[in-house]
Structure 1
Amino acid sequence: MTRIAFIGLGIMGLPMATNLVRAGHEVAGYNRGEAKRARFADAGGTAAGSVAEAVRGAEVVITMLPDSPDVEEVVLGPDGVLESAGAGALLVDMSTIAPATARTVAELAAETGVRAVDAPVSGGEQGAIDGTLSIMVGGEPADVEAARPLLEVLGGTVVHVGPSGSGQTVKAANQLVVAGTIQLVAEALTLLDAQGVELRSAVEVLSGGLAGSAILDRKAPGMLARRFAPGFRVDLHHKDLGIVLDSAREAGVVIPLGGAVAQLMAALRAQGDGHLDHSALLLGVERLSGK
């Protein structure tokens, strides 16, 4: 049994923290919203009243937060993780943030005697519930291996991809591929519908060929049913594509299709759909097509 502090009990964080409880670990969870803390307590965890309360005495601190400023506040701020954790504690940031922020967090953590790895995830809400996330980990090899037993509770694929910040760089690439593929699925469905093709049959045959993908399998049914309840919100994918563009600019890499899909995601958000699932890119294609 490991004593764990889990900060961030949102759509992804709550089932992840719950899976750690079910695996037999002692988990203190904190979220700004009291309702999420209550749900975690109902699932068998311990609800903490603050970041500091959750972190004190923890061997491992896991953060699952929306953006870089949130991680900076929770980890680096007053009464934050670094002020509250004991020397030798292991910080596992599973948020999706800028690679530069991940590197800064690791450097400042080392100065306080806290080990840090960045371990963003892919797989969405269902992957978090099922414990089948794909986890890309950056950090020192020994620290990654120390985190691995807990990460293997949360994910089916856990890969060390390089030094601090590398996990976030791989996650940026993941978000580029995901957004681009959803956009193409949305365009294909709109084209098929305009030509009078039976959509479910078309998706079935596409899934069995080279066009088949996890995204087609997971997202097309909801798109066909016009269910856009968020598994991963447009707002968050818009943020992630900003990280992609910044990383590409920093590296001197040209990503023309990535730039286009970032604009399409931004347009969807500007039209008031930021709270919807990113598969709502279908709505954007339909609007552009006058449907």
Structure 2
Amino acid sequence: MDERYAYIGHEIVGAMVKTRLAEAGYTCADSVARASIVITYCASQTALEDAYFDEDGIVQGAGPRTMLIDLSAATPSFARELNAVAMVSDLVAIEAPLVVADVTLSDAFSDRGNLMCLVAGEDKDVEAARPLLELLVGSVQTTGGSGSAQMARAAYTLQASAQIMAAVEADALYRSTQRSSSSLETAFGRAGAMTSEAEQVLSAVNEGRFEGTYTVEMLMAELSAALMAADDVDLILPQAEACLHLLELLAVIGGAGKAPSALALVYGEEAACAANGLDWTRAEQAYPSGEEDDYDLDDDEFPPGFGTYSAN
């Protein structure tokens, strides 16, 4: 396989890709047209569609038999569409959504063992892409035909986001009880974790680790893709929608670039938010009085669950 590649997309993932492939002797081409492999990772479905299908996008610019490897979380329907377009354009499409095991690490992408790809495509194409993918991640798991890897990614995302939210809210309950229990003469420890994922989040919250290379923006992209996949089959997922709303709030007040453990700050004191660079006045600007009708709230309230804002 020609070892010239091009990368398009998010800079954090791009830095990991370029470092690992450079160590393996791959050369980063200066354009899609000069590459035999194009690797993408976009943090929104819109950016991903633009990257591939714009007038000057990858599909138009890539040469015959170029291998397109997409690491993004997308919908199964997008994966199938890209595969169909690739086939008629004499290109090879591999869907390989990236999975980060411990999202709370300060550099979640530095350890190959913390990364996995779920991979779908034609068998011969998947096997051709496997050596490159194994340079990037510690585990490559094939899932079947076009769309299956993104479906598996969506299922993983729904479970992972639920565990993050459950851990954060359990911790918020313990902390709130500690602040108000002095008269009860009751000692409370920290919230217990039922899974390793919850333990990772709780440890990060208790240690005040709210920064990392895997960001709230990335989790929002993954959860949005999962919700779009559900919408494609007319399925409503209230828990996932509530989680996305909370992530959107955190992003509005300045937390898009923080680690998902920063969700705990939304449930804490305003001073702790400010100390971590979060500004609640941004929420006032983004959700001015009178625009809460979608949530059936009074003018002085914020959507349910956003306790810090309504309390301050």
The 1:260–1:72 alpha-carbon spacing in structure 2 relative to 1, beyond 3 Å, is: closer
Deviations 1:13-43 (A, max 9, x none): 2112211111222233xxxxxxxxxxxxxxx
CA contact (8 A) 2:45 2:221 kept: no
Work out the CA distance in 2 between the residues paired with 1:84 and 1:270: 36
How far does residue 114 in structure 1 lie from its aligned partner after superposition?
0.3
Q: Secondary structure at the match of 2:28?
A: strand
2:84 and 2:129 mapped to 1: Cα distance?
A: 18
Separation in structure 2 between the aligned mates of residue 192 and residue 101 of structure 1, nearest angstrom? 42
Q: Taking structure 1 as reference, are residues 59 and 138 closer, same or farther at Cα in structure 2, changes over 3 Å only? A: same
Shift of 1:113: 0.4
Q: Which residue of 2 aligns with 1:2?
A: 3
Are 2:237 and 1:255 aligned?
A: yes
Q: Which amino acid aligns with 2:174?
A: L
Q: Deviations over 1:59-89 (max 9, x none)?
A: 2111112222222222222333222222112
Where 1:128 maps in the other structure, the secondary structure is coil
TM-score with structure 1 setting the length: 0.78
In structure 2, runs of 5+ residues without a counterpart are 179-186, 269-305
Residue 219 (structure 2) pairs with residue 241 (structure 1): no
Residues 270, 79 of structure 1: alpha-carbon distance in 2 compared, 3 angstrom cutoff? closer
Q: Which residue of 2 aligns with 1:119?
A: 96
Find 1:222's aligned residue among 204, 209, 218: 204
**1:68 partner letter:** Q
Letter in 2 for 1:15: M
Distance in 2 separating the partners of 1:158 and 1:80: 27
Match of 2:26 in 1: 25
Q: Which whole-Å CA distance do the structure 2 matches of 1:15 and 1:276 have between them?
A: 18
Structure 2 residue aligned with 1:212 = 195
SS of aligned partner of 1:87: coil
Contact 1:140–1:163 (CA under 8 A) maintained in structure 2: yes
Aligned to 2:144: 162
Structure 2 partner of 1:104: 81
| 1:268 and 2:250 matched | yes
SS in 1 for 2:158: helix
Tell me the CA shift for residue 239 of structure 1: 3.3
Unaligned runs of 5+ in 1: 29-47
Kept in 2: contact 1:134–1:155 (CA 8 A): yes
Contact 1:5–1:61, Cα closer than 8 Å, also in 2: yes
Deviates more, 1:71-80 or 1:158-167: 71-80
Contact map agreement 2:5 2:39 (CA 8 A) in 1? yes
User: What is the distance in 1 between the residues matched to 2:198 and 2:21?
Assistant: 27
**Residue correspondence of structure 1 range 64-103 to structure 2 within 5 A:** 64-103=41-80
Sequence identity percentage: 30
* Structure 1 contact 136–161 (Cα < 8 Å) conserved: yes
Q: How far apart are residue 167 of structure 1 and its match?
A: 1.6
Partner Cα separation in structure 1 for residue 264 and residue 53 of structure 2: 39
Larger Rg: 2
In structure 2, the partner of 1:34 is none
Residue 128 in structure 1 maps to residue 109 in structure 2: yes
Give the match's secondary structure for 1:12: helix
1-structure distance, mates of 2:163, 2:153: 15
CA distance in 2, matches of 1:223, 1:137: 32
Per-residue deviation at 1:117?
Answer: 1.1
Relative to structure 1, the CA distance from residue 250 to residue 75 in structure 2 (aligned partners, 3 Å threshold; closer, same or farther) is: closer
- Give 1:90 shift: 0.9
TM-score by length of 2: 0.74
Give the match's secondary structure for 1:56: helix
Whichever residue aligns with residue 14 of structure 1, its letter is A
